[in-house]
Structure 1
């Protein structure tokens, strides 16, 4: 079974409660916190899969049946499975998360007698998140104390009042070695939990001490809004630590995946199709407060591929829909270097990528403080394409008044044009580069083509590339109708009911289809009590009953694949589909019988001959009836 406990101490969640969680969970609400979903027609939604890198949306969600499936990587399931995969939760943790969301009190079975108990120890993730939530309350309370005056002054000097500090959960780590540790231990958190969470660390003496001391703190939240870590800013000159100190890598905090402010920005990012990437916590606050609500920042690490994956899913950045990414960097050398590094990563985006650099080299926080909210909005509005910035940065390093300078600038700039993912833009940038260099277009074009050929050769056979999922072969008519029948049983079991159940697995010819049809029967049949509930509960039952992984994956796929009918299916459509399914198997049986009859000597094997001939007549009569039914007659 897929559940039913996160460990020996957690106990087993009662099946009735798991079914209730599935029933009361709107899967599109859960998934839309991580993936931007758009209409896919027929009541389904689609987005970019969070479990593999893709250019076009193949991740489908069926709100009516509370299931999801990715046609790109084959992953699928219900809301519980999504949380398990997306946030690396155990089954129990995922159920507990959804139960808390739906206001459901879970009951647990602790012994083989089946006696329920109302509460059980939480899974690891929930415990670590709960410890962080308690730490946020502690640190926020400390911000109002006398010792936190430097922290309050730091915020005030950067234009953030008390309301802003509360909105972003700012806090203060006091001047004590173990004040937070003692506070959390009194609330029931263990030594190991505090160390694992990154809130405390062992001292040389062996005792446990706080990780953060005498610092201004920002809670770092994941996409769902859970606090998973902290960013801590140095305030005192005698603090010999780094300027910014972050939570270490933990089971819930992965700095390469986390973006500060994304919990508050995600809805506007999806709505506007735009994200602004800034460098620090105060820059995010300044942008949001100045009317740029799509700002986010990395947490103690450079902007990388994992961050891009998070943003692409929020932006629905695909071949069909192009998101807009705006990087803001300081105008100094370090900022320019960061911008060029972002250009390298830009090629992972399908969308348009821009850079916004303040002319007086001020970051958004300083700019807001010096010139007001409008200046921050204008900074973003004056953005320029990142490729233009990168080319200008390269060209400016050479003396274009000399032949050697122009040629060398061309050699350095040509690979940047060759890297532009949108091939249709390359000719235009070739012309632009030639104009900027004051050269004829032909040599620039040759240089770009040579750089392009070099990039293509680097991707030639022999160099590892990301494996592509092979396109499936075109299904035969029989296979297609078998899929349709199974979709009816999974998606509309109340409608399919007895008509589906009356056609046994022997009528199916594809081996995986046979396994799924058998699983439907083992789950109680399309006309059974479990099927009457429909949705994720029914689909989960069928998937659990499948004897192999291929069949389990197919159940997830068929649960969201649109039916081959415009509008809603009705009993007539079910009848036609089941008749077409049987007609295929009956005609195959007729061919086999005719072949056997032709090989039999009617004199030497008279009894067998007439028995097969009688069966043939009966099947041909049945085939005629099915043909009429398949043509639309009931």
Structure 2
């Protein structure tokens, strides 16, 4: 089995910017002290506890304890092996990997497959786009673009393409670039027939589907020709090693920054709807690719929205006004627990989608559609009330009882009473009766809705100890700060830790971690692999402590790093001297200076020396801070 050379793994770690990698999946905001913060992608939370330290190349979540370097992050979020994660990062940051041939231990994996598939899709996208812009046979595609209200610039912005009718043009082009039959088949770009390999898409207008990072991973293809043997109006790339339709949102590469900055995402139903919205100024629009909006899609958006402010982050669904649109809205409501932000729905009264609306009434009408959104719970209330005959008393009671269940879905609890008043008004009942039904109703999730996840436990700085106080207790603050300085800046701490020993730490957890650090040794200079290597050598409990130490900013981080590290470590040693002073003074008080004069004088001399040592450490701390 081919093993990646250690020095190449080290080079990947040195070149990778961990915040750049993580920002492909999570919106990060500056948190001070060189740290960045966002919503954890590994567990559900409303308040950001996921910390990234770019200088240390490390991330840590104070909510669930997940932590590690960029390789670990990519492994966890994409479900990759260690080698696959290294290879993906190497491809992104231009590191040429070398391999050692070890003893075969299992089926051989193709280490470069993902990069080849991405490159094949990039070249395919360019090939298709050139065909649309220049080929005479692509005229139906260009006419469609024009008929749908888009110009050449829009087609170029979305890199639209045309698949030639012949069926072998792309295969020939990519094989000429060195790609194998297997690459094209596995990537979903080609298929094998009786006459050999042929293009998957033929005679169709194409939209490249991109990852959030902007890499092309698949295509959506619209039927354009009457003699197309495939009747389906739209074809999408099948599931491949790089394309998972349940996790893909069309337009996310263009919309991601606007979604983050505006705390809003608009979900539309088709490729041209995304284009229409962006052309009209609604640049937060995305669409699913041949599948219903699901949990994985929601997870992608939650990370971008950073929706810890429960009443400002918005998900706006646009649905057709027909029965199918009603069903889609109900399905969206059933999954509403996935969002901490408010969920809205925008329905055009005439049943027009955003593309048709833009054609009919212009850009402003698309913007107005989104602006006129209504809370999804109110839209669902309309749906509920249409099922009851409100002229009958028993039907009114049933309508009230079903409607008040919606109140539990309202994020802003200050609006609950107003909603109950709205129910009373719509049903024609007394508001006190509605309030009573609400108080007596047992919360019942809507069909398909999952119960909200329980709150994550309060993070601890260390595992619970069988005896004695937690390492998170206030009296261990200086020890925690010292470990943070050592872990975050090991090359700076190296020259300052010659006199530091296990006795400088009083808590067992701190002593254990320091023992592991000593055993590993501190690096002479910046070393991107030192911290991940240390993390790999620890058990889960110490690994959690290390994660906190690596992610939590130093308290004096606004000063120069060298000064802060020096001051923190001097403070640790000063406390050790102070504890010894207390011990010596206690013994002196119990020693008779006349009967035990020799022992008394020796301890007195030690006390004088300790007091001087303590002053020296104090002056070192003050000096370091003055130099900052």
TM > 0.5: yes
In the alignment, structure 1 residue 502 sits paired with structure 2 residue 499: yes
The one-character-per-residue Cα deviations of 1:72-115 (angstroms, maximum 9, x if unpaired) are 2222223333333334455455445545555x553635479xxx
What SS is found at the alignment partner of 2:335? helix
Match of 2:318?
328
Match of 1:130?
119
Aligned partners of 2:538 and 2:388: how far apart in 1? Answer: 67
In the alignment, structure 1 residue 542 sits paired with structure 2 residue 534: yes
What is the correspondence of 1:362-381 to structure 2 with a 5 Å cutoff? Answer: 362-381=352-371
What is the correspondence of 1:376-415 to structure 2 with a 5 Å cutoff? Answer: 376-415=366-405
Cα distance, 1:621–1:299 mapped onto 2, change above 3 Å: farther
1:571 pairs with 562, 566, 569, which one? Answer: 566
Match of 1:141?
130
In the alignment, structure 1 residue 558 sits paired with structure 2 residue 555: no
The one-character-per-residue Cα deviations of 1:571-590 (angstroms, maximum 9, x if unpaired) are 33321123335766x69999
The one-character-per-residue Cα deviations of 1:36-91 (angstroms, maximum 9, x if unpaired) are 11222323211011222222111111233332211122222233333333344554
Q: Answer whether contact 1:174 1:214 (CA < 8 A) is retained.
A: yes
1:216 pairs with 193, 205, 210, which one? Answer: 205
Deviates more, 1:305-314 or 1:58-67: 58-67
Q: CA deviation at 1:468?
A: 4.0
Cα distance, 1:501–1:88 mapped onto 2, change above 3 Å: farther
User: How big is the alpha-carbon RMSD for the aligned residues of Structure 1 and Structure 2?
Assistant: 3.7
Aligned partners of 2:268 and 2:582: how far apart in 1? Answer: 65
The one-character-per-residue Cα deviations of 1:510-552 (angstroms, maximum 9, x if unpaired) are 5543443233224432xx41xx316x444234334x3434334
**Structure ranking higher on relative contact order (CA contacts 8 Å, 6+ apart):** 2
Aligned partners of 1:321 and 1:414: how far apart in 2? Answer: 20
In the alignment, structure 1 residue 291 sits paired with structure 2 residue 286: no
Q: CA deviation at 1:321?
A: 7.4
Q: CA deviation at 1:146?
A: 3.2
What is the correspondence of 1:185-584 to structure 2 with a 5 Å cutoff? Answer: 185-203=175-193, 205=194, 207-238=196-227, 239-319=229-309, 322-454=312-444, 468-469=456-457, 471-472=459-460, 474=470, 475-477=472-474, 479-505=476-502, 507-508=504-505, 510-525=507-522, 528-529=523-524, 532-533=525-526, 536-544=528-536, 546-565=537-556, 567-568=558-559, 569=564, 571-580=566-575
What SS is found at the alignment partner of 2:126? helix
Deviates more, 1:147-156 or 1:367-376: 147-156
Q: Answer whether contact 2:341 2:411 (CA < 8 A) is retained.
A: no
Q: CA deviation at 1:359?
A: 2.0
Q: Answer whether contact 1:419 1:452 (CA < 8 A) is retained.
A: no
Cα distance, 1:615–1:65 mapped onto 2, change above 3 Å: farther
Aligned partners of 1:336 and 1:408: how far apart in 2? Answer: 21
Cα distance, 1:629–1:350 mapped onto 2, change above 3 Å: farther
Using the size of structure 2 for normalisation, the TM-score is: 0.83
Cα distance, 1:250–1:21 mapped onto 2, change above 3 Å: same
Cα distance, 1:410–1:83 mapped onto 2, change above 3 Å: same
Cα distance, 1:215–1:422 mapped onto 2, change above 3 Å: same
Cα distance, 1:627–1:371 mapped onto 2, change above 3 Å: same
Deviates more, 1:46-55 or 1:167-176: 167-176
Cα distance, 1:111–1:317 mapped onto 2, change above 3 Å: same
Aligned partners of 1:553 and 1:123: how far apart in 2? Answer: 33
Q: Answer whether contact 2:334 2:449 (CA < 8 A) is retained.
A: no
Aligned partners of 2:373 and 2:224: how far apart in 1? Answer: 33
Q: Answer whether contact 1:256 1:304 (CA < 8 A) is retained.
A: yes
Aligned partners of 1:316 and 1:552: how far apart in 2? Answer: 27
Q: 5+ unaligned residues in a row in structure 2: which ranges?
A: 103-109, 465-469, 591-598, 622-628
Aligned partners of 1:373 and 1:157: how far apart in 2? Answer: 16
The one-character-per-residue Cα deviations of 1:580-618 (angstroms, maximum 9, x if unpaired) are 35766x699999x99xx9xxxxxxxxxxxxxx9999999
Cα distance, 1:626–1:541 mapped onto 2, change above 3 Å: farther
The one-character-per-residue Cα deviations of 1:467-518 (angstroms, maximum 9, x if unpaired) are 8446436524564433222111122335433433422235445554344323
The one-character-per-residue Cα deviations of 1:544-567 (angstroms, maximum 9, x if unpaired) are 4x3434334433331111224474
Match of 1:72?
63
Q: Answer whether contact 1:516 1:542 (CA < 8 A) is retained.
A: no
Aligned residues: 593
Q: CA deviation at 1:428?
A: 2.1
Aligned partners of 1:615 and 1:268: how far apart in 2? Answer: 72
